[in-house]
Amino acid sequence: MPSERWLPRLFLILLVAVLALAGWQWRHGAPLSANLMDLVPGNTPDALELAAEQRMQEPLNREMLVLVGHADRQQALSMAQQLGTQWQASGLFEQVTWTLQADLPALRQQLLQGRLAMLSAKDREQLISEPEAFIAQRVQALFDPFTGFSLVSSQDDWLGLTGRIQNSQPQHGAVQLDIGSGALIADADGKSWVLLRARTQGNAFDMKLPLQVADLLQASREQASQQGVQLLAASGLLYAANGQQQASREMTWVGGGATVGILLLLLLAFRRWRVLLAFVPVLVGMLFGAVACVALFGHMHVMTLVLGASLIGVAVDYPLHYLSKSWSLQPWRSWPALRLTLPGLSLSLATSCIGYLALAWTPFPALTQIAVFSAAGLVGAYLSAVCLLPALLNGLDLRPAQWPLRVAEFLLGVRESLLKRLPSQALLVLALLFCAGGLWQLNSKNDIRQWIGAPPQLLQEAQAIARITGYQPTSQFFLVRADTQQQLLERQAALSQRLDQLVHLDKLQGYLALNQLVSTPGEQQHVREALKQLPALWQPLLDLGIPASALQAEVAQLQALPTADIDAALAGPLAEPWRLLWLGKVDGGVAAMVSLQGLNNPALLRIQALDLPGVQLVDRLGDLNQVFAATQISAAELKLLSCVLIVLLLILPFGLGGALRIVALPLLAALCSLASLGWLGQPLTLFSLFGLLLVTAISVDYAILMREQIGGAAVSLLGTLLAAVTTWLSFGLLAVSSTPAVSNFGLSVSLGLAFSFMLAPWAGRQEHTQ
């Protein structure tokens, strides 16, 4: 026939065009992304909030915190210096710091210039309300040589304001400055731990940098262990490196394992080497899926590749549709077998694409990207199976092994025996009772951390660093907006009062806010007014021998200090911890952040922002987890809508009753799978729901195959069995993934496929015995 000549040629032209497009897309390297945030909803329409998030996340994605520990402090210092020098020379890091190289003159100058603006709220309140106590404490400090090291001498600051500012600076947990070396050191577990910080040139979402940093760290660990030194490291870079390595491993064994299993199954069943060409549609499908993803999204996430590798088992179903007819159609020829199965094969493609693309309309980029990859991949596999593969198999005399057919006949016999004892209605009641019991025990769990399969070592080291240093950053923070800097500081002060209560209740370890660094112009003026009353009270200072002229000159000097604003306060070296928090002028006003440390209960934070104008809690993880739950509902609704469309599509070839039966069986299979998760004690997650919704798209194919019964019930069941096994070889392997989201997905699909195969025979025209 003419179609047997021009179809392969047209498809080859299309294939060359797609390959050319793929080459153009990869011209600058692999368009892959490891950024987890590419897969989550962009539910942050506010550009300022997005900029604040990026500012807060940047240290996590670019910095590595390392503790170098040894029982001998000098040995730890020596190793830290050695590693710091090597890392800086590696070219991977913008800056490696293990000592503080403080500019002491600049520090003294900032303290002297900021004596009005940088005074803490507690000290300011005492100076204003209890000046006698303020003078008494200063006298005691001058008498006591153990009050602490002061950067400014008493002769330059008789009232001791710089010392109070210095002592009110936020404490960095258990880390202390070693005066001799300039290093930050914490003592714990019988060791001295030297703090080393490294800031990379790129970020954790670079496809190469995290792996290079992880390799360098491993080499440093081996170097340190030879000298008995222990290294503890924490960084988003290490999680990214682990994620990339894990994705690579899982793509290899999921794709490789499925490929080997399917090829072996084809050989055992059909006993011809040439039948391995049935894998060509799989390769074409992966190509089409990847090209479509990059064309629509500009890149493809590595997780899409991991889950997309499971498409192998679905794409190979198309050639299996007509290869399986070789058990009843003899002599078997490729083009006649294709024409016989083409209507059912086309319906399978249409229903599968409807099922996949319904999920593309969810507000979740992860589902959208995977749905587009899968739908485009199935179209490519279908076109290859219809247009090219029959030409490649032309002239093949296919005489399959008989044992698969005997297996199918045995399974049908078991089903007939069962139906003689229990009619279909009774089995349906039992299935519904099973579902009810499982659903009663099912719990939903939505947490973005399910996407990260972090190895125990990384988690343990991060926890050890938090315990040793006392430094426990959180992902939540407050965004504060105002019309002016004064209003901003006032709003932050109001928030600080509430956060202080959480600190006192041990619900929060601490926080950083700009009002801790600089007070409002009004508060600075109150300090000036308070200084005027000191001459009447400073007799105890005069009794110590301090000249009255010196005290008067200092008060005059303080009165003449300019009113400092946020920009001036941030210019000095003392402001380093706060510099990240200032967002500056935005939209006709100003904005800044308040960072948090050691949060025990995130739910308490939302209460703190109530009734505070301009104060907003930014809790990306909490918001995303809520979106996960909402997406579950919208995905289920879209899936039901797709089922309605599938019913409408199937009414013409199968009638209303047949269409309803074909769609009802996959829905029942998904319900049984959902119940099985409950019985197994597994939670329902967004990805396990996605797996179940995917099952309904796949198992419609099985129901159509059993409804048509081309070649007889046994041959159709055998085709269904081969399709189910090949699909399970792909998806089932995902169940043992170390990434919880991927594992949940694989488990739910594996369960769904089993139930889909068991229920598929009921799609056939029912005999009176049933």
CA angle 621, 622, 623 (to 5 degrees): 90
Instruction: Write down the pLDDT at residue 768.
Output: 39
> What average pLDDT does this structure show over 164-169?
79
Query: What pLDDT score does 247 carry?
Result: 67
| Cα separation, 307 vs 366, whole angstroms | 11
Cα–Cα dist 179/97, whole Å: 16
Does the pLDDT at position 150 exceed 80? no
Has residue 769 got a pLDDT over 60? no
- The confidence score (pLDDT) of residue 451 equals 53
- pLDDT digit string, tens, across residues 79-135: 988 888 888 888 888 888 877 666 678 878 888 888 888 888 888 888 888 888 888
Q: Does residue 693 surpass a pLDDT of 70? A: yes
Token representation of residue 676: 């099985």
Closest C-alpha to 368, from 380, 381, 356: 356
- The strand pairing partners of 232, in sequence order, are 67
Cα–Cα distance measured from residue 233 to residue 237, given in angstroms and rounded to the nearest whole number: 10
Per-residue pLDDT, averaged over 421-435, amounts to 90
**585 or 148: which carries more pLDDT confidence?**
585
Confidence of residue 767 (pLDDT cuts 50, 70, 90): very low
Q: Are 670 and 435 in contact (CB under 8 A)?
A: no
pLDDT for residue 40: 60
Lowest pLDDT segment from 40-49, 111-120, 179-188: 40-49
Q: What is the pLDDT of residues 649-671, one digit of tens each?
A: 889 888 888 889 988 998 899 89
Q: Is the peptide bond before 423 cis (omega within 30 degrees of 0)?
A: no
Helical H segments across 326-423, by residue range: 334-359, 365-383, 389-392, 403-421
Q: Look at residue 211 in the predicted model and tell me its pLDDT.
A: 83
Average pLDDT value over all residues in the chain: 82
pLDDT digits (tens, 9 = 90+) for 504-541: 888 888 888 998 888 888 888 888 888 888 888 888 88
Report, as an integer, the average pLDDT of 603-631: 80
Distance CA 435, CA 444 (A): 16
- Give 466's contacts (C-beta < 8 A, 6+ positions apart): 472
Whether the per-residue pLDDT at 381 is higher than 90: the answer is: yes
Q: What percent of the chain has pLDDT over 90?
A: 12
Whether residue 430 has pLDDT greater than 90: yes
DSSP state of 735: G
Has residue 720 got a pLDDT over 80? Answer: yes
Contact of 642 with 744, CB cutoff 8 Å: no
Whether omega for the bond prior to residue 331 falls within 30 degrees of 0, making it cis, is: yes
- For the packed helices 713-731 and 686-708, what is the interaxial angle rounded to 10 degrees? 160
What 3-state class would DSSP assign to 163? helix
State the pLDDT at residue 482: 92
Q: pLDDT at residue 36 above 70?
A: no
Paired sense of beta strands 589-599 and 473-482, if any: antiparallel
* Of 301 and 673, the one with more pLDDT: 673
**Please, what's the b/e burial string for 614-625 (b: 16 or more CB within 10 A of its CB; e: otherwise)?**
bbbbbbbebbbb
CB 315 within 8 A of CB 282: yes
pLDDT at 766: 52
Q: Which residues contact 451 (CB under 8 A, 6 or more apart)?
A: 36, 39, 303, 739, 740, 741
Backbone angles phi, psi at 68, to 5 degrees: -105, 110
pLDDT at 770 over 60: no
Taking residues 731-748, report their average pLDDT.
77
- Mean pLDDT, rounded, for 193-197: 87
Q: Is the pLDDT of residue 44 over 60?
A: no
d(CA 514, CA 566): 8
The pLDDT confidence band at residue 179, using thresholds 50, 70 and 90, is low
**Rounded (10°) CA dihedral 212, 213, 219, 220:** 160
pLDDT 10s digits, 456-481: 787 788 888 878 877 776 778 899 99
Tokens of 481: 């907006």
Helices marked H in 442-570 — which ranges? 456-469, 485-504, 514-517, 521-531, 539-543, 548-559, 566-570
Tell me, what's the pLDDT at 494? 92
**pLDDT digits over 231-259, tens only?**
998 887 777 777 777 767 766 766 677 77
